[in-house]
Chain A
């Protein structure tokens, strides 16, 4: 199989052509010494790609990911990424990514907002074709009039694509989720595309201290043959799929095939939980679950909630936190358990729809406890004071009734 003697894919314990030692993932994630760096989110994306043995990346400009995707181009020029190109539109970009993944490459790309929606038809196709492509979505508004501001609405569109969706709270998460994301997404029993999400500008354009794995260690290369579907490289027998293409048939076998494959994609996502729990140290993070009031959310809304909790503490009010790391698979059991004693479950969100509140309400018992809000949208920030005010006002209103 072409990959064995290939200088482009060295094995664990040998160095790649840039001198990085190919190292077992657990070793890189949990044992290797970490060093602190002060970086923007865009720079963090570059650093994570640099350590991830990426074979192919496609770029297309859209704020707020343009800097990151051009930094990946610099990595390619330096020899850290196998091949790199600028696509002609996000629809084409995601097709180019798919073609490379069908051909057995580890693929990376980034997009945001309108780019995500332009590309949309590709995402369920990727999942159905079991292509473990990684996209970083640096989410931004998708409304008209034109906006480039941070907004998490686009995630709502992504929920049922069959992709794994992990939401980074900050630059540190972004770094870790990107590298760990490849390991989970490429498991043969998972083998699904993954969207690593970060909030545009708040994460991409601000600087933060990030604890980095060694620069001279890189993840093992993708082994495309550990795969539930054949690699399109003519290195395995070119089986004929079927005599009668299912699309032509309106019969039970055809329906059953489509239905069972959809269920299999769902099952593959379920199977990702085990390794994800191990690598991310759980699908959620919980603080003070015994508090009457809980703030439950993902992404930057979590950072703001942490600040709000501090303000509450100064006032002598105990407020707990549930940070959701994986939006797909959704941590139902964990959330149900973590929220079981709360009286009020507030869900702060950076979008007008309140989709995260709906997700949570769909899994917790006595879901009248779930309160959607506070919402900000259109690029507004969510000062912790706003969260505190909203929580106090809502509880006062509820108690009056």
Chain B
């Protein structure tokens, strides 16, 4: 979609909500170098949210929205959970339908868009909680990877069911005492990143949202690889400060602590040789373009 489609009849300008005016004025549609640095200056894709104050999910949302390569042609798929409280305020079209079916929805959506727009690129991005991705929706998560469906799956891993009040989830750490795990969780945190790799994902990354530049790099990479090569998976630690008893200012430190050496969210990524070649090629082209541009100046 081009920006022309979102212009407002001047007659109506004064009655249009501010966030829509922001979209018209500031939308970074078509801007190839958009990224995390735009977070502060442009709020057209996400401004407010109704999560708990200081919830890292809200920060992750902002970083991701700033980093997706082509918001003007991106449709997102969510699931029930804390993330579904943000999506109504996100200005790319997005689907909430049921809890756990997000990768099935994305499968049909991506195929429909590919069929209806044979000459246009439409990106599909799933963004759902760990309960949705790993527990109730696991079969659909995996099957979409087995089938090599070309979209990105992002899991907001807060290691529990936040929206229903902090129950045990498959991505919860072993031993953690939670609702429905009164004696502590009895099995290990499910190794979904490794399972993703074995299930055919072309790119997998595990991170927190503490470093926006890193979020930008992996999100761009994940979406572009999904567009051209095959499924990609990002698992981002977004601690539920409410349920682990932290204050609203403590989310960042919690993420930093969890990504130090030997910790469970130490940054790691996996990329297939084919996907790596594609990224190298893309970066080489970008460099050549830059060189050519500066030579022309």
Contacts and interface: CB of A to CB of B under 8 A. Distances in A.
Interface of A: 2-3, 6-9, 55-56, 58, 82-83, 85, 87-89, 91-93, 95-105, 107, 121-122, 125, 129, 230, 232-245, 247-248
Residue from B94, B98, B110 whose CB has the most chain A CB atoms within 10 Å: B98
Contacts of B111: 56, 83, 85, 96, 99-100, 103, 105
A221 to B, nearest CB: 10
Given A95-B140, A122-B98, A56 B112 contact: yes
A125 B96 CA distance: 10
Interface residues of B, number: 48
17 contacts: A2-B116, A2-B117, A88-B140, A93-B104, A96-B107, A98-B97, A98-B105, A98-B108, A99-B106, A99-B109, A100-B112, A103-B113, A105-B112, A233-B75, A233-B116, A234-B75, A237-B5
B92 A103 contact: no
Contacts of A242: 88-89
A233 B108 CA distance: 12
A230 B93 contact: yes
Given A82-B115, A99-B112, A103-B109, A240 B19 contact: yes
Residue from A3, A82, A232, A244 whose CB has the most chain B CB atoms within 10 Å: A232
B113 A233 contact: yes
B101 A91 contact: yes
Interface in B44-96: 48, 50, 72-75, 77, 84-85, 88-95
Contact of B116 (A88, A105, A240): A105
Given A121-B98, A236-B5, A56 B93 contact: no
B265 interface: no
A282 to B, nearest CB: 35
B6 interface: yes
B139 interface: yes
A56 B108 contact: yes
B50 A103 contact: no
Contacts of A88: 139-140, 143
A88 to B, nearest CB: 4
A243 B89 contact: yes
B25 to A, nearest CB: 14
Contacts of A125: 97-98
A144 B189 CA distance: 36
Contacts of A82: 115
Given A232-B75, A233-B113, A234-B73, A248 B95 contact: no
Given A56-B111, A85-B147, A241 B88 contact: yes
Residue from A7, A99, A100 whose CB has the most chain B CB atoms within 10 Å: A99
Contacts of B101: 91-92, 95, 98, 122
B218 to A, nearest CB: 23
A96 B149 CA distance: 12
Nearest to A9: B116
Interface string B110-126: 11111111101010000
Contacts of B74: 234
Contacts of B278: none
A121 B79 CA distance: 14
A92 B75 contact: no
Contact of A103 (B17, B23, B108): B108
Contacts of A121: 98
B98 to A, nearest CB: 6
B284 interface: no
A270 to B, nearest CB: 25
Contacts of A232: 75, 93-95, 109
B270 interface: no
Interface string B230-248: 0000000000000000000
Residue from A92, A122, A238 whose CB has the most chain B CB atoms within 10 Å: A238
Given A95-B98, A99-B109, A102-B109, A248 B85 contact: yes
B50 A245 contact: yes
A219 B288 CA distance: 50
Given A125-B98, A129-B97, A239 B113 contact: no
Contacts of B48: 243
A333 B20 CA distance: 47
Contacts of B117: 2, 6, 233
A92 B104 contact: yes
- Sort A-B residue pairs by CB-CB distance and give the 4 closest, nearest first: A99-B108, A95-B104, A103-B112, A100-B108
B7 to A, nearest CB: 9
Contact of A97 (B108, B114, B115): B108
Contacts of A240: 17, 19-20, 88-91
Given A88-B139, A234-B122, A245-B88, 10 more contacts: A6-B118, A55-B112, A83-B114, A88-B140, A96-B111, A99-B106, A101-B108, A102-B105, A103-B111, A104-B116
